[in-house]
Amino acid sequence: MNNSGIEILLSSDSDYEELTAEIYFNGKFVALLNKDEGLDNLKVEFPGADVNQEMVLRNIDLATFEQGLNMAKKKLIG
């Protein structure tokens, strides 16, 4: 985890054809970035209701979220 509290985990989830990047803030899951439709059409997905809600962050300030998205994008592009 870096000083901002944001952590990016790359994963190979069986639900996706390509690598995904999971965005966490202070240890809680915020969103997933996937590149199944190519680098020019990245998709952001948010956790559903079936996820353990204690492990999810539903409110995050925009600047932190944008920083997390940019970090995840950089890791996916690699």
pLDDT band at 3 (very low <50, low <70, confident <90, very high): low
Residue 4 CB contacts under 8 Å (≥ 6 apart), including other chains = 64, 67
Q: Is 26 left (phi over 0), alpha (psi -120 to 50) or beta?
A: left
Q: State which residues form the domain around 71.
A: 6-77
Q: Is residue 1 part of a domain?
A: no
Q: Is residue 55 part of a domain?
A: yes
Q: pLDDT tens-digit profile of 13-69?
A: 888 898 999 999 999 999 999 999 998 999 999 999 999 999 999 999 999 999 999
Cα torsion 35, 7, 53, 64 to 10°: value is: -90
Look at residue 2 and tell me whether its pLDDT is greater than 90.
no
Domain count, the chain: 1
Q: Is 5 left (phi over 0), alpha (psi -120 to 50) or beta?
A: left
Identify the pLDDT of residue 4: 84
Q: Is residue 37 part of a domain?
A: yes
Give Cα 41 to chain centroid, integer Å. 15
Place of tokens 């054809």: 17
